[in-house]
Amino acid sequence: MTTQLLATELANLIQESKRKHNDLRQAAEKSLEELKQLGPLSESAVSDQLSQKTNFVNPFIIACGTKNAKFTSIAIVCLQRLIVASALPRSKLNQVLEALMQASSAALDVQLKILQALPSLLQNYAAELQGELLVTTLNICFILQSSKNAIVNNTSAATLQQLVVAVFDKVVTEDKNGSSEPFVGEAATSNGKVQLRAAALDAYRVSRIRP
């Protein structure tokens, strides 16, 4: 992630949304001001600071909701950079996933950027991406896998496989921690109900998902 890229793309959103979409323009102006206030920091320090600014991602979320091709393209580029850099506010993950879902019907390059971002999203926000948030993440892949474009179809299939492997890897880690992890749900088996911890419950849900 580069601060300059974010600043440039926020300025583009401000410029492009002048005549319409006042909410987008105002949100972009606020985020650009927040970015400027950070001053000269290292990339890691910038990521840490942005992850604590809950409203910084608002213009990108709003942009995806407009369904405007140019706005959406700018937003996904920035969201991808923020995801890879672990710079997203954790409280905004649900809204970010909704934005990615909305953008999944956009152009080819946007769809591929979304798919590139998902593995990093699951890796960098493993503790938060559980339950419904995880299901939403996988559903984005399922939606893109239905694309008639061979590149998107194949990439989404590979990404989905990568995400599923990551989900089951979390179960291995959870098992190593043993009794320190609480039970959060249960699954029905031929021998009755079994208590499951968070990662195991997610893996169970994933195994039952049908695209």
Instruction: Give the global pTM.
Output: 0.88
Check: CB of residue 25 under 8 Å from CB of residue 18.
yes
Amino acid 143: pLDDT: 93
Tokens 């580069």 identify what position? Answer: 2
For the beta carbon of residue 175, count every other beta carbon within 10 angstroms: 12
Check: CB of residue 46 under 8 Å from CB of residue 83.
no
| pLDDT average, residue stretch 164-189 | 80
User: Would 88 be classed as within a structural domain?
Assistant: yes
Q: For 29-53, what is each residue's pLDDT tens digit? A: 999 999 999 888 888 899 999 999 9
Amino acid 55: pLDDT: 96
Amino acid 175: pLDDT: 81
Amino acid 179: pLDDT: 67
**Residue predicted with more confidence, 133 or 201:** 133
Amino acid 173: pLDDT: 82
Which distant-in-sequence residues (6+ apart) come within 8 Å of 96 by Cβ? 57, 61, 79, 83, 88
| pLDDT average, residue stretch 100-126 | 94
- Residue 100 CA to residue 118 CA, distance in Å, equals 10
| pLDDT average, residue stretch 84-97 | 96
Amino acid 211: pLDDT: 57
User: Would 54 be classed as within a structural domain?
Assistant: yes
Amino acid 84: pLDDT: 94
User: Would 117 be classed as within a structural domain?
Assistant: yes
Range of the domain at 68: 1-167
User: Would 185 be classed as within a structural domain?
Assistant: no
Write out the H or E segment, with its range, that includes residue 196.
Answer: strand 192-197
Burial class for 52, CB neighbours closer than 10 Å (0-12, 13-18, 19+): exposed
Q: How many degrees, rounded to 5, is the angle at CA 39 between CA 50 and CA 81?
A: 35
Q: For 122-158, what is each residue's pLDDT tens digit? A: 999 988 998 899 999 999 999 999 888 999 999 999 9
Amino acid 1: pLDDT: 56
| pLDDT average, residue stretch 185-205 | 79
Q: Is the pLDDT of residue 197 over 80?
A: no
Amino acid 183: pLDDT: 76
User: Would 141 be classed as within a structural domain?
Assistant: yes
How many domains does the chain fold into? Answer: 1
- Residue 137 CA to residue 98 CA, distance in Å, equals 9
User: Would 186 be classed as within a structural domain?
Assistant: no
Average pLDDT, the chain: 90
The percent of residues above 70 in pLDDT, for the chain, comes to 98
User: Would 156 be classed as within a structural domain?
Assistant: yes
| pLDDT average, residue stretch 72-97 | 96
Helices (H), the chain: 3-16, 22-37, 43-50, 58-65, 69-84, 93-103, 108-124, 131-145, 150-177, 198-208
| pLDDT average, residue stretch 97-101 | 96
- Residue 125 CA to residue 61 CA, distance in Å, equals 18
User: Would 4 be classed as within a structural domain?
Assistant: yes
